[in-house]
Amino acid sequence: MEKIKVAFQGEMGAYSHLACEKLFPSCEIKACPTFEETFKIAHDDENYKIVIPIENSLAGRVADIHYLLPKYKLQIHSEHFQKVEHNLLVRKNAELKDVKFVRSHAQAIDQCQKFILKNKFKTIISADTAGSAKELSKTDDKSIAAIASKLSAKIYDLKILTENIEDENQNTTRFLIMSKNVSQPDYNKNKKYITTCIFRLKSIPAALYKCLGGFATNQVNLTKLESFSVKNTFDQTNFYLDLEGHIEQTKVQKALEELSFHTESLNILGVYEASIFRQKK
């Protein structure tokens, strides 16, 4: 049986890599330098799935993703919520008293401020968490530590000096699992679904107010609505929208029909089962 092919952005050991392994055990994994290259792989090869972070509970939306979604028009097949657990990694012969500097992605540094200030570490900003661990593995310098995942420690043969050093223990990243293949689950009234779309409004007064009225009238709950500028212009805005419901439900169809009256473009990016993480809330 051929292995599932999965791609993500970042170095091996990144939190996206961790999500890939949890979602697709024993899959064939490819690490990509940029989000653009990750999307392009799935666009060019329908056998690839990609695991993409869309938002973080502390840092908000992930930059660039909203622009790549309408560009490549990949289909969302599911969502995954991954708890982010930061760890202090060092060389095998290093101890806490040796550490003077800590290296990681800017967001990871920000999310571990209490631990960093307590230990009076100087910070070194890097491109990503796993990349920081990889760089650390290439040096014998005991004064430098990295903030990264446990998977990074395993891959790059580093010691976990302190686990779970993040300020907030509910730090969570939402991932989208996407591919070129278009498919959606049949509606089952006993299950909960998310429908995701991107739309561009007509440039007329009250267009946003009018298009949202259909969701209120039909009792459709919106779980996310974000605006982002169309590149190279200040005149038009795209909107990313997540709603609770399946496109086969009459109320969702009516709400989307109302939305379409007031838009220049409307792309349904996916209909998929809501993660059980949402049901815990």
- Tell whether the torsion through CA atoms of 208, 211, 216 and 220 is positive or negative: negative
**Quick one: which of 150, 152, 161 has its CA closest to 95?**
161
Residue 148 · residue 124 · CB < 8 Å = no
Q: Which of 38, 129, 173, 196 is catalytic?
A: 173
Catalytic annotation on 173?
Answer: yes
CA distance linking residue 134 with residue 125, whole number of Å: 14
In sequence order, which residues have a C-beta less than 8 Å from that of residue 199 and are 6 or more positions away? 211, 238, 239, 241, 259, 263, 265, 266, 267
- Tell whether the torsion through CA atoms of 119, 125, 126 and 130 is positive or negative: positive
Terminal-to-terminal C-alpha distance of the chain: 38
> What is the longest distance spanned by two Cα atoms in the chain?
65
Q: Which of 175, 199, 215, 239 is catalytic?
A: 175
Catalytic annotation on 101?
Answer: no
- The residues annotated with a catalytic role in the active site are 173, 175
